Amino acid sequence: MSDIPNIRHLRAFREVARRRSISQAAEQVHLSQPAITQAIAKLEGQLGTPLFERRFDGMPTTAAGALFLDRVERMLEGLRVGAREAARLGDRKAARGFPDFDQLLTAAQLRALVAIANAGNFSLAARAVNIAQPSIHRAARDLERLAGLTLFTRSATGIVLTGAARVLVQHVKLALAELDQGFAELAVHLGVDQSRIVVGSMPLARTYILPAAINALTAERPEVRLQVIDGPYGDLLHGLRHGEIDVLIGALRDPVPIEDVVQETLFTDPLAVVARAFHPLSRRPTVTPADLAACRWVVPRPGTPTRDRFDALFAEHGLPAPTGLIEASSLQLIRGLLLDSDTLTLISLHQIRHERDLGLLVPLPVALPGGERPIGLTLRRGWRPTATQERFLACLREAGQGAR
């Protein structure tokens, strides 16, 4: 999360851009004309570029101003929607709070809300954003008074967010992500592309697709920063939906897990039962489910598509699933277990392409009807990537073509 400009300054900028006039904007944001002039000057200083042309017939935006305006519009709309949803879920009493409290939000309150949501504790939240605990506590309570909602409750383990707070946090994080994208677009406009792209990576993508896409992008744009986050699908999806992750890459879900994300298939990848080279079963012309049931296995955790297919492999033939399972998602660990024992795994052929090329691992002759999985991208619905993010998506699509 970058430094958040004064929210009133952003509102002043938006109104001046809409009306091409400071005097007309002053009536909308309830600031004096000198205050708006000062706000615009301060914002331009922070951004390092003029946002308006000063002309006798008005103040049209510069190219940089028009670019930034789009992100500010999306940010402020996100705050508006979040405030409405929080008020609806929080069952606010009419006598409490302000009906349009999003228009009164401050940067300090947004920073406090996000920090407390992430840390679950006032002290840890204060440390995370490097401000005194009384200040973050005051900002949080001021936000509650503005909203007329209970946002934080205490528990034995720390601070718990109410349902209203959780929905507000999600919209605030998405709004701040829009602002970060605006900063990145302005930097590119000024000739410096130091964009930061955060990728949620599931195991399948780490072997070829993601390395290929990252290498392609950084060869073109060496200053771009990429952060790859590994983790369970649920955690990655949460990060995506809260603006902390830009794109997920890996096995897609059927059906789509929630309506605010969209999926895009890059290619379809077959699953296979895999063993070390020269495994006793590798020398047989066919391998039966009963043969597989007698072996030791390393498998993904329950709830993943591959684990569901593993369980179905035995249930379809009326066989009990093997016992003594090892649950792991690390390809390095799986590879070590397979190479040094007769352990089997069910895995994407794409994931072991290097090991197959080197003759270390081999697929067994096992029929797996329905064992193909769509691999692709999961994105936020309505997300508008920057040009750099769009180029990275193109690199992922190109790598997906190469994986077919």
Domain CATH code at residue 345: 3.40.190.10
Same domain, yes or no: 156 and 74: yes
Same domain, yes or no: 144 and 39: yes
Domain assignment present for 318: yes
Same domain, yes or no: 145 and 32: yes
pLDDT in tens, the chain (404 residues): 558 899 999 999 999 999 999 999 988 888 899 999 999 999 999 999 999 999 988 899 999 999 999 999 999 999 999 999 999 998 766 557 888 999 999 999 999 999 999 999 999 999 998 999 999 999 999 999 999 999 999 888 888 999 999 999 999 999 999 999 999 999 999 999 989 999 999 877 777 889 999 999 999 999 999 999 998 899 999 999 999 999 999 889 989 999 999 999 998 888 999 999 999 999 899 999 999 999 999 999 898 888 999 999 999 999 998 988 999 988 889 999 999 999 999 998 888 888 999 999 999 999 888 778 888 999 999 999 999 999 999 999 999 887 76
* Total structural domains within the chain: 3
Beta bridge partners of 249: 201, 377
Domain assignment present for 185: no
pLDDT of 205: 73
pLDDT of 69: 97
Same domain, yes or no: 35 and 166: yes
Domain assignment present for 210: yes
Task: Find the domain containing 37 and state its range.
Answer: 7-172
pLDDT of 404: 65
φ and ψ of 252, to 5 deg: -85, 160
Same domain, yes or no: 27 and 157: yes
Same domain, yes or no: 105 and 80: yes
Looking at 91-162, list the stretches that DSSP marks H as alpha helix, in order from N- to C-terminal side: 107-119, 122-128, 133-147
Same domain, yes or no: 59 and 163: yes
Domain assignment present for 183: no
How many Å apart are CA 235 and CA 8, to the nearest integer?
34
Rounded alpha-carbon distances, angstroms, from residue 153 to 17, 117, 165, 264:
40, 12, 10, 39
pLDDT of 92: 66
Residue holding tokens 């006039």? 21
Q: Contact at 8 Å (CB) between 361 and 170?
A: no
Helix axes 22-29, 33-47, angle to 10 degrees: 100
This prediction has a pTM of 0.87
CATH number, domain of 45, equals 1.10.10.10
Q: Contact at 8 Å (CB) between 25 and 32?
A: no
Beta bridge partners of 271: 348
Same domain, yes or no: 256 and 350: no
Amino acid found at 276: R
Domain assignment present for 345: yes
Rounded alpha-carbon distances, angstroms, from residue 69 to 7, 53, 54, 163:
13, 14, 17, 31
Compute the 3-state secondary structure of the chain and give helix, strand, coil in percent, each to the nearest 5: 50, 15, 30
Domain assignment present for 95: yes
pLDDT of 264: 97
Same domain, yes or no: 248 and 387: yes
Tokens coding 203:
């195991």
Q: Contact at 8 Å (CB) between 309 and 371?
A: yes
pLDDT of 95: 55
Rounded alpha-carbon distances, angstroms, from residue 241 to 73, 234, 237, 260, 404:
20, 11, 6, 8, 29
Tokens coding 290:
């009963």
pLDDT of 335: 93
How many Å apart are CA 73 and CA 179, to the nearest integer?
10
Same domain, yes or no: 36 and 135: yes
Same domain, yes or no: 68 and 166: yes
Same domain, yes or no: 293 and 341: yes
Tokens coding 213:
């896409």
Domain assignment present for 184: no
pLDDT of 49: 95
pLDDT of 330: 85
C-alpha 394: how far from its chain's center? Answer: 18
- The upper half-sphere exposure of residue 162, i.e. CA atoms within 13 Å in the direction of its Cβ, equals 16
Domain assignment present for 73: yes
pLDDT of 338: 96
Tokens coding 221:
């744009």
Q: How many CB atoms lie within 10 A of CB 2?
A: 11
Contacts of 246 (CB under 8 A, 6+ apart): 197, 198, 199, 240, 383, 385, 389
Q: Quick one: which of 239, 204, 245 has its CA closest to 329? A: 204
